[in-house]
Structure 1
Amino acid sequence: MMQRRRDRRILVGLAFAATAAIALTGCSAPSTTESAPASEAELEGRGPIQYVSSPDASGAAQETIDAWNADNPDEQVTWVELPLDADQQRQQMVQNAQVEGSSYSVLNLDVVWTSEFAANRWITPLPEDALPLDEEIPATVEAASYRDTVYGAPYYTDGALLYSRTDLLSAAGVTEAPETWAEMQEACDAVLALPEAAGVSCYAGQFDKNEGLTVNFSEAVNSAGGSLFDADGEPTVDTPEALTALEFLVDGFESGMIPREAITYQEEQGRQAFQEGKLVFLRNWPYIYKSLSATDGSSSVQGKFGVSAIPGEDGPGVSTLGGRNIAISSFAENKATALDFIAFFTSREQEEARLALSSRAPVFSEFFEDEAVTANYPYLPTLLTSLDNAQPRPKVVQYGATTAAIQDEIYAALTGDKDPESALADLQDKLAEITAG
């Protein structure tokens, strides 16, 4: 195992992302009562618990659960597997919380859901002294907190990466990764003129009508110099910058730069398309690096791809801050077991083991600083660059309504049901109504 570093150095620049997250509080919580951090004594009960999460194709999370179960025969963890679609995951967790169901113990939450679940008291505060928070990337701790109280244990962090077919780019004489949208288009034009690029499309992200669309639109707006909300939590989507961003995506579908089938892409569909050699460029998360690098014959791009920061309008783009937190349902039984399992699940040792299996980016600063680690996972320095400038999605209590409004209007524009100007004007009105409420 990696030797623990006692100096606990913090990554330069990541505090910016934490500060930005505070600015986008959006709306007030349903309750004005402040919550104090829990003590371990307040989390009572020992016995079987349930881990509630999306599927994990890498098998890494299951290995951690198996390791826990082998050592804790009286406190077994059962995995409750939710759908792959993030919106469906959130919906099922919300429904369970609204009926105060005890069948969900430990929740794997998208970082942007944490404020909503904490504000509604669907998850319980965690004792900070039970977690090594001072050794973790500050932005990940902030993303796991609500009103200065920690409600989740940072699980992994995420920033967008641009995956590129370096073999095709080299054959076309393109030696540098694109930093702007125009450069990406020029690179694609050169590649697609090659005979060996027959049947290959230029670029894809996540454009299905789900959370991935909110992320991709947010990144496009930020990468064009705009924002979805201002520092006071007021929506700012009916702007020239947001229009530039949306027109980039709409024009991409109309011109064929983005293949028509990408309108159905979530993360996994995009990974499969790139892994099968169907794309020159793909915007996705770090977790797919492992699959793309597979040497068992499952990846047609093994040894033929590279990673870089996502492009923007006039220079490198701005990633969305992604990742997951692990929290305890307020209605769970056996909360003491749940806390111990969370501490085990998110420990340095387990994060190191999962990194080898899944390429999920760890939340401990030391991994990004260790040359032996970055030699094996060369995307980590690029990810750090992405995280340095990352912006959070709107950190609002009514996040479900906010992301649904974004998805409805942006999807309508991408599919041609609305022109970009009308979609943004309608989205501005919807978000203003949501934040006013």
Structure 2
Amino acid sequence: MRSRSWQRRWFDPLKFLMLLLAAQIIGLLLWGLTWPQSPPVELSFVVPQDEVQPWQTVIAKFEKSHPDIQIQLVTDPDLDYTTDQRKAIYTADFQFPRAQYDLVYMDIMWPLQFTESLQDLTPYVEEDNMSLSGFLASELSAGELDGTLYRIPMRADVGLLYYRQDLLQQRGVSLPKTLPELTQAVRLLQPSIGYLWQGSRYEGLVANFVEVLAGFGASWIDPETGKVELDTPMAIEAATLLQDLIQKGISPDEVRTYIEQDSLQRFLEGQTIFLRGWPYFWNQIQNSDLNGKVEIELPFAFTNDPGIGCRGGWGFGIPQNSAHPEEAWEAIKYLTSETAQREFVLASGFLPSRTILFQDPDIVKKYPHMPQMLEYLESSSVFRPVIKDYEAASKILQSALSDILRGQQSVKAAMKQAQTETEDLLQSVSPGG
């Protein structure tokens, strides 16, 4: 009896079960710590070299708050990845069953051209009750068609004129407006190089032409009627003016081969008076020997009227063939947020797409011209034509302008041909496209 009583006291079933349960819990915890975890989802998008550093800072903070998502920047140190090159990369990627790039970092002109390849972001916005009211209205509308939202804006852009205020002051020369005034200023300031711009056969040449054309009060394709207006007196005059800049020695012959970085690097050498460029040029200028010597204005209108800058801008979309659309949306929400844009702008000099940041004290301290940029965007800028087959129309215009600058066709012949080809193109596109 004593022996059995002792056994009963020693063996308590309830305590045994509790010990067994505790052992199981400890085992599960240890198993969880040692069992391989699912790797993070990796997203990627394509960027040029000059955006790598500012993006790395923003992405590092995103990954810290989203450890299950990583973002890879795709770039090439030997290429600058022009807008056209990046577009070609994404266009090819849309053809695969599964996207290599789950984030489409896109130019303001792409959404309408990619409607069949991009997801509608409206359901994501509505599900997260995301407010879009803080964005520039014009930036939002550029990514929307018939109630479908294809792009969330990340940064805005507008064409600008950079000029050497110190050189103008030394000779008592006022900032020129018209072509004769510019010609006279360049002659007075010789041997300095006059005016640099982007004349290579690519989208940047179109932006330069659109600004001159807008300065004359004309358009490439009428936004109201859709009528092509290349074989018109104003368009012919605008193309002739670009030709004259080179032929009259106001711009060097090399501008016919220049893209953005070429013209900026030449300007940074310190021997040029005027440069047509984009807002991000300011950061590199301020970090050079030209710090404190350069001012900003709207591009030359070549008339007595104020200039007009061509609109640019970049934002994010999600491809239809994305394997990770939910994770891509999480990234887009962060990358286009006020916090991320603020950090990106401070590091790069690009313009934000959120209006409040144009008045941000830290941004204005570093970039005093930022409030002025908002004014330019809202009242002194022009969009390129919003048409379905924009790329083909742009190629037609690029070819005509390049032939003119290189003397391969007369201005009238080139513009007449561009008019006919563009009209044929638009007639072949289905209505509403």
Q: TM-score, normalised by structure 1?
A: 0.83
Which residue of 346, 366, 379 maps to 2:369?
379
**Does 2:117 match 1:125?**
no
Structure 1 equivalent of residue 343 of structure 2: 353
Structure 1 equivalent of residue 286 of structure 2: 293
Cα deviation, 1:247-289, whole Å, max 9, x if unaligned, reads: 1110111111111111111111111111111321001000110
Structure 1 equivalent of residue 178 of structure 2: 180
Compute the displacement of 1:371 (Å).
5.7
Decide whether aligned partners of structure 1 residues 101 and 260 sit closer, same or farther in structure 2, where only a CA change above 3 A counts: farther
Which residue of 259, 262, 265 maps to 1:266?
259
Contact 2:338 2:357 in 1 (8 A): no
Structure 1 equivalent of residue 206 of structure 2: 214
Q: Which runs of 4+ in 1 moved over 6 A?
A: none
| Gap runs ≥5 in structure 2 | 1-39, 429-433
Compute the displacement of 1:428 (Å).
0.3
Counterpart CA distance in 1 for 2:62 and 2:321 is 22
Contact 1:53 1:107 in 2 (8 A): no
Compute the displacement of 1:340 (Å).
0.6
Structure 2 equivalent of residue 14 of structure 1: none
Decide whether aligned partners of structure 1 residues 372 and 334 sit closer, same or farther in structure 2, where only a CA change above 3 A counts: closer
Q: Which has the larger radius of gyration?
A: 2
Structure 2 equivalent of residue 72 of structure 1: 66
**Does 2:103 match 1:106?**
yes
Decide whether aligned partners of structure 1 residues 181 and 132 sit closer, same or farther in structure 2, where only a CA change above 3 A counts: farther
Compute the displacement of 1:139 (Å).
0.7
Which amino acid counterpart does residue 167 of structure 1 have in structure 2? D
The worse-fitting range, judged by mean Cα deviation, of 127-136 and 153-162 is 127-136
Counterpart CA distance in 1 for 2:414 and 2:145 is 32
Decide whether aligned partners of structure 1 residues 379 and 249 sit closer, same or farther in structure 2, where only a CA change above 3 A counts: same
Counterpart CA distance in 2 for 1:58 and 1:181 is 38
Contact 1:181 1:313 in 2 (8 A): yes
Counterpart CA distance in 2 for 1:104 and 1:57 is 17
Structure 2 equivalent of residue 428 of structure 1: 419
Structure 2 equivalent of residue 319 of structure 1: 309
| Gap runs ≥5 in structure 1 | 1-45, 193-197
* Residue correspondence of structure 1 range 153-164 to structure 2 within 5 A: 153-164=152-163
Which residue of 14, 25, 46 maps to 1:52?
46
Compute the displacement of 1:48 (Å).
2.1
Structure 2 equivalent of residue 35 of structure 1: none
Counterpart CA distance in 1 for 2:257 and 2:359 is 37
Which amino acid counterpart does residue 412 of structure 1 have in structure 2? D
Which residue of 276, 279, 292 maps to 1:303?
292
Structure 2 equivalent of residue 252 of structure 1: 245
Structure 1 equivalent of residue 391 of structure 2: 400
Compute the displacement of 1:123 (Å).
4.0
Compute the displacement of 1:77 (Å).
1.2
Higher RCO (CA < 8 A, seq sep 6+): 1
Instruction: Please provide the CA RMSD for this pair.
Output: 1.8
Decide whether aligned partners of structure 1 residues 178 and 401 sit closer, same or farther in structure 2, where only a CA change above 3 A counts: same
Counterpart CA distance in 1 for 2:257 and 2:264 is 13
The DSSP-based 3-state class of the residue aligned with 2:201 is coil
Contact 2:46 2:86 in 1 (8 A): no
Contact 2:154 2:315 in 1 (8 A): yes
Counterpart CA distance in 2 for 1:349 and 1:416 is 49
Compute the displacement of 1:58 (Å).
6.0
Which amino acid counterpart does residue 105 of structure 2 have in structure 1? N
Which amino acid counterpart does residue 335 of structure 2 have in structure 1? F
Which amino acid counterpart does residue 41 of structure 2 have in structure 1? G
Structure 2 equivalent of residue 241 of structure 1: 234
Compute the displacement of 1:374 (Å).
2.7
Compute the displacement of 1:348 (Å).
0.5
Which amino acid counterpart does residue 67 of structure 2 have in structure 1? P
Counterpart CA distance in 2 for 1:138 and 1:164 is 30
Structure 2 equivalent of residue 141 of structure 1: 140
**Does 2:328 match 1:333?**
no
Which amino acid counterpart does residue 245 of structure 2 have in structure 1? G
Counterpart CA distance in 2 for 1:185 and 1:154 is 39
Structure 2 equivalent of residue 277 of structure 1: 270
Contact 1:179 1:310 in 2 (8 A): no
Counterpart CA distance in 2 for 1:169 and 1:401 is 41
Which amino acid counterpart does residue 180 of structure 2 have in structure 1? A
Q: TM-score, normalised by structure 2?
A: 0.84
Which amino acid counterpart does residue 66 of structure 2 have in structure 1? N
Counterpart CA distance in 2 for 1:313 and 1:166 is 19
Contact 1:286 1:360 in 2 (8 A): yes
Structure 2 equivalent of residue 150 of structure 1: 149
Decide whether aligned partners of structure 1 residues 57 and 336 sit closer, same or farther in structure 2, where only a CA change above 3 A counts: closer
The DSSP-based 3-state class of the residue aligned with 1:352 is helix
Counterpart CA distance in 1 for 2:85 and 2:301 is 30
The DSSP-based 3-state class of the residue aligned with 2:195 is strand
The DSSP-based 3-state class of the residue aligned with 2:415 is helix
Contact 1:58 1:358 in 2 (8 A): no
Counterpart CA distance in 2 for 1:389 and 1:123 is 32
Compute the displacement of 1:100 (Å).
4.0
Counterpart CA distance in 1 for 2:395 and 2:263 is 22
Structure 2 equivalent of residue 363 of structure 1: 353
Compute the displacement of 1:370 (Å).
4.5
Compute the displacement of 1:121 (Å).
3.1
Compute the displacement of 1:92 (Å).
1.5
Contact 1:161 1:386 in 2 (8 A): no
Counterpart CA distance in 2 for 1:382 and 1:311 is 17
